[in-house]
């Protein structure tokens, strides 16, 4: 395993550690869905920022997931009626279409 791969594994483990810690704290604190989702979004995006800082490949999927968590958290916290299911489907469809037109291959090709 290369040094970069080892660093990527450590960052992934740290992100999951922060995730579980945050979920436990937000449940114990009874912070509500909005705050919990905001925290998960921040953790997800911070993990990607750390990857970029250490010159590791940014994972676009997790950036999108982090942004969606932030949007969902803001919507829940401010009691906005965001159609998150619809937004997720649109983003997933756009991502697939973009991958087709940019020539990127899927995992099983």
Taking phi over 0 as left and psi of -120 to 50 as alpha, with beta for the rest, 59 belongs to beta
Q: Measure CA of the first residue to CA of the last residue in the chain; give whole Å.
A: 24
pLDDT of residue 104: 57
Nearest to 95, CA basis, from 59, 64, 52? 64
Cα–Cα dist 69/59, whole Å: 16
Give residue 107's pLDDT band: very low, low, confident or very high (50, 70, 90): low
Q: Is the pTM of this model over 0.85?
A: no
Q: Which two tokens stand for residue 39?
A: 């925290």
Rounded mean pLDDT, 14-21: 97
At 61-99, the pLDDT tens digits run: 899 889 989 988 998 888 888 787 788 788 878 878 887
At 29-40, the pLDDT tens digits run: 999 989 999 999
């Amino acid at each position: 395993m290369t040094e970069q791969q080892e660093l990527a594994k450590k960052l992934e483990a740290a992100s999951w550690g922060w995730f579980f810690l945050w979920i436990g704290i937000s449940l114990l604190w009874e912070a509500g869905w909005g705050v919990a989702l905001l925290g998960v979004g921040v953790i997800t995006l911070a993990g990607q920022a750390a990857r970029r800082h250490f010159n590791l490949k940014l994972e676009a999927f997790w950036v999108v997931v982090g942004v969606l968590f932030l949007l969902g958290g803001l919507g829940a916290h401010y009691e906005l009626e965001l159609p998150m299911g619809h937004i997720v489907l649109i983003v997933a469809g756009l991502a697939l279409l973009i991958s087709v037109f940019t020539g990127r291959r899927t995992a099983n090709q």
